[in-house]
Amino acid sequence: MLVPQLAIDLTGPGALIGAGVIAGLIGAALGYAVALAGRWRSAAAGEVARRSLAERRFAEAEESYRKLFDSSIDGIYVTTPDGQLLNANPALARMMGYVSARELIDAVADVAGTIYLDPAMRAEYQNRMARDGMVREFEYQARRRDGSVLWLSDSATTVRDEAGKVVRYEGVVRDITNQKRAEGEVAEGRRRLQEVIDTVPAVINVKDMRMRYVLMNRYMANIFNIEPEDAIGRTTSDIMSRYGADKTDENDRRVIESGQELGFYEEEYVDSSGVMRQWLVNKLPLRDSDGEIRQIVTVALDIGERKRNEQEMRKARDAAEATLQHLRETQNSLIEAEKLAALGRLVAGVAHEVNNPVGISLTVASSLERKAAIFAEEVARGALRRSSLNEFVETSRSAAAQLVGNLNRAAELIQSFKQVAADRNYSDQRSFNLADLTDQVVMSLRPGIRKQNLTLSVECEPGLMMNSYPGPYGQVLTNLFLNSVAHAFPGGEAGKVDIKARACGPDHVEVEYSDNGRGMSPEIRRRAFDPFFTTRRDEGGTGLGLHIVYSIVTSRLGGQIHLESEPDKGTHVRMILPRHAPGEFAAS
């Protein structure tokens, strides 16, 4: 404090007056001084109070920082630039496998050699700190006390002194081992998914909401001539523009707008080799846990080959229909044979069978014609002798006999052929009792049974009423019996034939015909119902007997027939017939 200095003259005329004034002045000065002293003491006390408050607040802040430091779940550290660990919190100690922070600090003399699994990552950390003064979420692998490895995410800053020199690093680390493991599992799952979809011979891709690919299988990548990973983040237009093609994302937008899958539809576009490809495509939305659409998945099957096959099939079908129409126009009577896919064998068999008797008849007639001409010349010359007359008469008689025999044979063949053609005008549909009709047919066969040394038994359920064709039914049983006589028991061998009939549901009956004869080989059984197939052609067989049976059962009677036979185990024929046969035109 400064006290005013007064220069006063106390001698002279005004000394008394001046002394009073001086005394007053001195009193005033003393009062002023006292006031100033009080103010100084007050200011000093305030400063002390402020300092005490600041110290208390600093202590409280330091305590809060210490609590935060100690209770943080993230690791907190302070290191020197050369790698000495100056401070660490308990979370970091536990993270690294130590009991306390002090134990960790004492154990770590060099961070790069003790903590970092790869010392090069410490060098990268230091380079970033020197360049940027900080690192954010710097990831590296660290070695724990027990030797196990964990992943850390490090965020730190540099601290400099007054001269600007870096004196320490202060940072926070998080244990991201589980995150890395999860990311690895996700990456592995994605890799396996990629491997799986790469094996699928179809287009599979996933796009985000901006129509950019996030997944593409190799099959599709080959279509676009691009690696799957190179397609990620690009649009279809981006990829196809590389080779001058184009394709819109309109269908993807429809999925987003509607929120529904589109269902399969056909689409085509040009691939990277310039080939037009046809696809059967479906697109559907992929939603998150909240139900919001996040991605669009596309699956497409290459139907180019199918399209080509369909086109070829249409051409073949058109050609077949034209051929069939031609056949219907020229030989309508052979429709049933066409259904058996045996038209060629049928025509060849007919030609072969009819050609023999007709050819023989033609040869005999030609010879007779020449003989008649010679006989006429002799008569005209008047040189006819009895011997010539007798020879001509004998030749004519023999020729006539041969002509009659061969023409009868041809007539029989033609009649059989008419049966193959399924002439439906020889029998009317009516109601009858199946047991009675079967007995009547068997009765007509019994005279021949005695000559063949066969036993024929019939077991028919009574009361089976049918509305069908009795004539064709009788012909079926007759042909089956004659086929057994000719093939199952050749040479008059003894044997047994069984006929059984019973109900098969409310609308059908089951008729079984079986013999215990020689049976059939697999090859013969396979062709047994083919027209003109016979194993006894040299003995006069025509091969029409079982074919007529098949034609009558499946066409006229509207039923089904099954044949079972093995060599030396006999033959079994099973027929399922409707109780009400189809009408005349329904059976066509």
Residue range 292-314: average pLDDT? 89
Binned at pLDDT 50, 70 and 90, residue 542 comes out as low
pLDDT, tens digit (0-9, with 9 covering 90-100), for 77-100? 999 999 999 999 999 999 999 999
Residue 349 has pLDDT above 50, yes or no: no
Name the pTM for this structure.
Answer: 0.37
Report the candidate in 302, 306, 284, 301 with the shortest Cα–Cα distance to residue 293: 284
From the number of C-beta atoms within 10 Å of its C-beta (0-12, 13-18, 19+), residue 156 rates as buried
Highest mean pLDDT among 98-102, 369-373, 545-549: 98-102
pLDDT, tens digit (0-9, with 9 covering 90-100), for 441-458? 887 776 666 667 788 899
Neighbours of 108 (CB within 10 A): 19
Residue 22 has pLDDT above 60, yes or no: no
Residue range 285-311: average pLDDT? 89
- Reading the block at residue 139, the tokens are 């990831």
Q: How far is CA 426 from CA 422, 429, 475, in A?
A: 10, 10, 12
Burial 535-556 (b: 16+ CB within 10 A, else e): eeeeeebbbbbbbbbbbbbbbb
Q: Which residues contact 75 (CB under 8 A, 6 or more apart)?
A: 88, 89, 91, 92, 95, 96, 152, 172, 173, 174, 175
Residue 52 has pLDDT above 90, yes or no: no
Residue 111 has pLDDT above 50, yes or no: yes
Residue range 422-427: average pLDDT? 44
Q: What crossing angle do the helices spanning 434-452 and 470-483 adopt, rounded to 10°?
A: 30
Return the CATH fold of 72-175.
Answer: Beta-Lactamase (3.30.450)
Residue 110 · residue 84 · CB < 8 Å = yes
Residue range 310-331: average pLDDT? 80
Residue 420 has pLDDT above 50, yes or no: no
The Cα–Cα gap between 362 and 420 comes to 26
Neighbours of 172 (CB within 10 A): 17
Q: How far is CA 289 from CA 57, 190, 254, 292, 445, in A?
A: 49, 19, 22, 7, 82
Residue 437 has pLDDT above 60, yes or no: yes
- Reading the block at residue 403, the tokens are 């002509």
Residue 519 · residue 487 · CB < 8 Å = no
More confident residue, 405 or 412: 405
Sign for the CA dihedral angle at 478, 481, 487, 490 comes to negative
The Cα–Cα gap between 487 and 482 comes to 9
Residue 5 has pLDDT above 90, yes or no: no
Q: Where are the alpha helices (DSSP H) in 177-294?
A: 177-198, 218-224, 228-231, 236-240, 250-258
pLDDT of residue 200: 84
Domain 182-307 has CATH 3.40.50.300: no
Residue 69 has pLDDT above 90, yes or no: no
From the number of C-beta atoms within 10 Å of its C-beta (0-12, 13-18, 19+), residue 305 rates as exposed
Q: Which residues contact 356 (CB under 8 A, 6 or more apart)?
A: 406, 409
More confident residue, 17 or 355: 355
pLDDT, tens digit (0-9, with 9 covering 90-100), for 455-490? 889 999 999 999 998 888 888 998 888 888 888 887
Q: How many CA atoms lie within 13 A of 394 on its CB side?
A: 6
Residue 34 has pLDDT above 60, yes or no: no
Residue 13 has pLDDT above 80, yes or no: no
Neighbours of 478 (CB within 10 A): 17
Sign for the CA dihedral angle at 107, 109, 114, 116 comes to positive
The Cα–Cα gap between 82 and 125 comes to 12
The Cα–Cα gap between 12 and 186 comes to 111
Helix (H) / strand (E) containing 2:
none
The Cα–Cα gap between 561 and 547 comes to 11
The Cα–Cα gap between 352 and 450 comes to 34
pLDDT of residue 63: 62
Mean pLDDT, the chain, rounded, equals 80
Q: How far is CA 307 from CA 271, 301, 319, 400, in A?
A: 17, 12, 18, 66
- What percentage of the chain has pLDDT greater than the value 90? 34
Instruction: Give the SS3 label for residue 157.
Output: strand
Binned at pLDDT 50, 70 and 90, residue 23 comes out as very low
- Reading the block at residue 2, the tokens are 């400064």
- Reading the block at residue 419, the tokens are 């049966």
Binned at pLDDT 50, 70 and 90, residue 360 comes out as confident
Helix (H) / strand (E) containing 437:
helix 434-452
- Reading the block at residue 512, the tokens are 């079984």
The Cα–Cα gap between 91 and 100 comes to 9
Neighbours of 261 (CB within 10 A): 13
The CATH number given to 430-578 is: 3.30.565.10
pLDDT of residue 427: 58
Residue 190 has pLDDT above 60, yes or no: yes
- Reading the block at residue 460, the tokens are 């028919």
pLDDT of residue 350: 52
- Reading the block at residue 184, the tokens are 């690895």
Out of 3-17, 129-143, 276-290, which region has the weakest mean confidence (pLDDT)? 3-17
C-alpha radius of gyration, the chain, whole number: 58
